[in-house]
Amino acid sequence: MTERPSASSMLTDEEQAFRAAVREFAEGTVRPRVAAMDEAAKMDQEIIDACFGMGLMGIEVPEDLGGQGGTFFQAVLAVEELARVDPSVAVMVDVQTTLFENMVLRWASDELKRAILPRVCKDTVAAYCLSEAGSGSDAFGLSCEAREDGDAYVLSGHKLWITNAGEAGVFAVFATVDKALKHKGITCFMVDRDQPGFSVSKKEDKLGIRASSTCEILLDGVRVPKSRVLGEVGQGYKVAIETLNEGRIGIGAQMVGLAMGAFEHAMRYTQERQQFGKPIADNQAVQFQLAEMATLIHAARLLVYDAARRRDRGESFVTEACYAKLFASRAAERVASEAVNLYGGYGFTHEFPVEKYYRDAKIGQIYEGTTNMQLQTIAKRVMGGDLP
């Protein structure tokens, strides 16, 4: 489909070229494998290798550390374009870039950066381990403990809902060094998959984004050298908060791409499907449905791009990130639902692509902070004077 002026006019020539390259990759390499990956609930290793080969797994990382030396905005564009074809692949790249690598770039020592970043840019998938059974929206009510032992910390506990866990080789694990300190005891540790006592356990059987692995992590006396602490002991709360603010923009981009993919399928189908001797797209009611969908996508994209631009300029973007995730996740669910409606009975079957977008959309209102958490943050900041 020809790029619409409303989308391309928001981008520089360099960004348009980058977007076109990612789109070509998504269409040529990812799309042929989407249905099979969804059916198998497993990411194709060839897709993972291809994402590394394209440089998509290290967009913002400086070139001297193995990355592409790009911008946060470019990472957002990549997530959007991948999600247009497969939101599962998009979230793998999103966690790698907007969460894990940004966190390491900002908080790690030079030594730790050199130890971690070249690996995750070249061939090692990363995972971000914060959630637990008793700490979802209350992200810092952690029970996972880190006991100091000489020149190391010993980690015990378990984590749930960890994206990329099935494929990851390195994990950012949040644990508390002292529960009495509450959030001030939370610390982030860099843990390798092959360390004794560390294991990836149950893989969740999910409604959507099925190719993206979501697993439980078990930690049974995992010994982590103090040199593998990210930032300082007790800084984990701040590390997580700042990283999640950026991650919400990435999820917003995923939802925009998802909505765009569903919309494009619906547009084509309504022009091809004949009823009463004419394409159903000739009916004004259908045209109005498509118009509503297009408006939602455009508004969501503007919010996501604004938040990403603010982040790259070093401006405050917390409220804007919440706006973006809140609206884009709702827009994606609405657009995907309308796409199913426009397909009629065919839309309710696995044979046609829109039902997958509908299944994939639901998670957007849950992970990286639920809809209620976005509303709570927005309300607090607006009441504090951060007006739209």
How big is the CA angle at 183 (ends 179 and 187), to the nearest 5 degrees?
85
Q: Is the pLDDT of residue 9 over 90?
A: no
Q: What is the pLDDT of residues 271-300, one digit of tens each?
A: 999 999 999 999 999 999 999 999 999 999
The answer for residues whose C-beta is within 8 angstroms of residue 186's C-beta and 6 or more apart is 140, 142, 174, 175, 176, 177, 234, 236, 237, 240
How big is the CA angle at 274 (ends 271 and 277), to the nearest 5 degrees?
120
pLDDT value, residue 61: 98
pLDDT value, residue 4: 52
User: Out of 7-16, 21-30, 373-382, which region has the weakest mean confidence (pLDDT)?
Assistant: 7-16
pLDDT value, residue 137: 74
* Burial state string for 12-35 with b = 16 or more CB within 10 A and e = fewer than 16: eeebbebbebbbebbeebbbebbe
> Quick one: which of 121, 115, 122, 132 has its CA closest to 75?
121
**Distance from C-alpha of 160 to C-alpha of 35, rounded to nearest angstrom:** 26
User: H or E stretch including 310?
Assistant: helix 284-312
Most distant pair of Cα atoms in the chain: their distance: 79
Q: What is the pLDDT of residues 295-320, one digit of tens each?
A: 999 999 999 999 999 999 999 999 99
pLDDT band at 1 (very low <50, low <70, confident <90, very high): very low
Catalytic residue among 132, 216, 333, 368: 368
pLDDT value, residue 138: 79
Q: What is the mean pLDDT of the chain?
A: 96
User: Residue 260 class from Cβ within 10 Å (0-12 exposed, 13-18 middle, 19+ buried)?
Assistant: buried
Q: Is the pLDDT of residue 372 over 80?
A: yes
**Distance from C-alpha of 242 to C-alpha of 233, rounded to nearest angstrom:** 16
Q: Beta-carbon neighbour count of residue 217 at 10 Å?
A: 27
The helix/strand/coil state of 162 is: strand
pLDDT band at 7 (very low <50, low <70, confident <90, very high): low
pLDDT value, residue 2: 46
Q: What is the pLDDT of residues 36-51, one digit of tens each?
A: 999 999 999 999 999 9
pLDDT value, residue 134: 85
User: H or E stretch including 215?
Assistant: strand 214-225
Domains and CATH numbers, the chain: 5-124 (1.10.540.10), 127-234 (2.40.110.10), 237-383 (1.20.140.10)
Q: What is the pLDDT of residues 103-160, one digit of tens each?
A: 999 999 999 999 999 999 999 999 999 999 988 777 678 999 999 999 999 999 999 9
The helix/strand/coil state of 62 is: coil
Residue in this structure with the two tokens 């504090």, named with its chain if needed = 384
The phi, psi pair for 129, rounded to 5°, reads -110, 90
> Quick one: which of 125, 128, 163 has its CA closest to 47?
125
pLDDT value, residue 6: 56
pLDDT band at 336 (very low <50, low <70, confident <90, very high): very high
pLDDT band at 5 (very low <50, low <70, confident <90, very high): very low
pTM score, whole prediction: 0.96
**Distance from C-alpha of 137 to C-alpha of 35, rounded to nearest angstrom:** 32
pLDDT band at 387 (very low <50, low <70, confident <90, very high): confident
Active site residue 246: no
User: Residue 215 class from Cβ within 10 Å (0-12 exposed, 13-18 middle, 19+ buried)?
Assistant: buried
What average pLDDT does this structure show over 85-95?
A: 98
> Quick one: which of 228, 248, 196 has its CA closest to 373?
248
**Distance from C-alpha of 23 to C-alpha of 30, rounded to nearest angstrom:** 10
What the block records as the tokens of 352 is 């046609």
Q: What is the pLDDT of residues 223-251, one digit of tens each?
A: 999 999 999 999 999 999 999 999 999 99
